[in-house]
Amino acid sequence: VEPISLGLALAGVLTGYICPRLYCLFAECCGQKRSLSREALQKDLDDKLFGQHLAKKIILNAVFGFINNPKPKKPLTLSLHGWTGTGKNFVSKIIAENIYEGGLNSDYVHLFVATLHFPHASNITLYKARMEVWNPFLDVIGFGVSLLWDEIWEFYAGLDFLDLSHPPASASQSAGIIGMSGFWHSSLIDRNLIDYFVPFLPLEYKHLKMCIRVEMQSRGYEIDEDIVSRVAEEMTFFPKEERVFSDKGCKTVFTKLDYYYDD
C-alpha cells in the first residue's frame, strides 16, 4: 500500500470517528438525506413522467406510507412492470434524486440491472448470495401484494379496438395483459416479498411528442413542432392498424432527433 493512500484512508476513518460533522463536509453521509417531501416528489412526477397516472399514484402512496411507518419490518419493494421505454428506470432515478442529493450516484443507492448484473441463469446461487449482502432484510417477512387490477382494467377496457368485453378471470390473466406474465410465478411473488406491483402503461403518440419536446429543450433548441411530429411519426406503433401505442415507448426518440440536428 502506498503511504499516501493509507494516510488518507486512515484520516478519513479517524475524522469520521472523532468528528462526524467535519467528515460529512467532505464525504456523503447517510444522515445527509434530503427530507423527502410528498409535494416535491409529486411535482417531479407530474412534470417529468408522462402517461403513467397509475404508476404515479401507487409510487406516491407506497413511498410515503413506508416513510411514515416508524418501524418498517422490511424494505419497501416495488416491482415495476410494463413495455420497454415507458419510464421504469426513469422513475427510479426520480425517486433516488428526491431522497439523496447524488441521486443514482449516491453511495446509498444501488442500481442493479438484471441483464447487466445477473446475466447467467447458471450463476443464480452466486447472485442470490451477493444480493443478501446488499439487502439483508428483504427476506424477513412477507407483505400482502397490493394490486389495482380494476383500474388497470378500466384503462384497457376503454380502448375500443381491443376485444376485452369481459374482465380477466384471474389476476394472472390480468398480469399477462400488462406484460407481467414471465415474472408472475417467480419466487419473490410466491413468497409475498413484493409490496407493490407498479404497472407502466404503454405510451401513446402524444406522450412521444412530450418526450421529444423535453429532449429538444434540454439540448437548448427552440421547440419546433414540425420536427416533433416528424420524429414521432417515425416511431412504430401497435396495434399495426390503429397505431395507438409506441412499441419502444420514448426509448429511441432521442437518437432519431440527432438526424434533424446533425451540426
Among 15, 77, 89, 146, interactor with ligand ATP by CB under 6 A: 89
Distance between CA atoms of residues 170 and 79, nearest Å = 19
Cβ distance to ligand ATP smaller for residue 73 or 110: 110
| Angle of the 88-99 helix axis to the 38-48 helix axis, nearest 10 | 150
Binding to ligand ATP (CB under 6 A): which residues in 41-70?
48-52
> With binding defined as CB under 6 A, does residue 86 bind ligand ATP?
yes
Q: How many residues does the chain have?
A: 263
x/- letters, 219..258, toward ligand ATP (CB under 6 A): ------------------------------xxx-------
Among 88, 198, 209, 228, interactor with ligand ATP by CB under 6 A: 88
Q: Least distance (Å) from ligand ATP to the CB of residue 210?
A: 7
Residue among 221, 215, 208, 209 at smallest CA distance from 254: 215
Are the beta carbons of 63 and 76 closer than 8 angstroms? Answer: yes
Q: Least distance (Å) from ligand ATP to the CB of residue 55?
A: 8
Cβ distance to ligand ATP smaller for residue 42 or 84: 84
Cβ distance to ligand ATP smaller for residue 199 or 249: 249
Torsion of CA 170, 171, 175, 177, to 10 degrees: 40
Residue among 84, 118, 114 at smallest CA distance from 235: 84
Place of cell 402512496: 61
3-class SS at 237?
A: strand
Are the beta carbons of 54 and 214 closer than 8 angstroms? Answer: no
Are the beta carbons of 49 and 55 closer than 8 angstroms? Answer: yes
Cβ distance to ligand ATP smaller for residue 92 or 229: 92
Q: How many residues bind ligand ATP (CB under 6 A)?
A: 18
Among 23, 64, 66, 90, interactor with ligand ATP by CB under 6 A: 90
> With binding defined as CB under 6 A, does residue 202 bind ligand ATP?
no
Q: Which chain residues interact with ligand ATP by CB under 6 A?
A: 48-52, 84-90, 200, 203, 211, 249-251
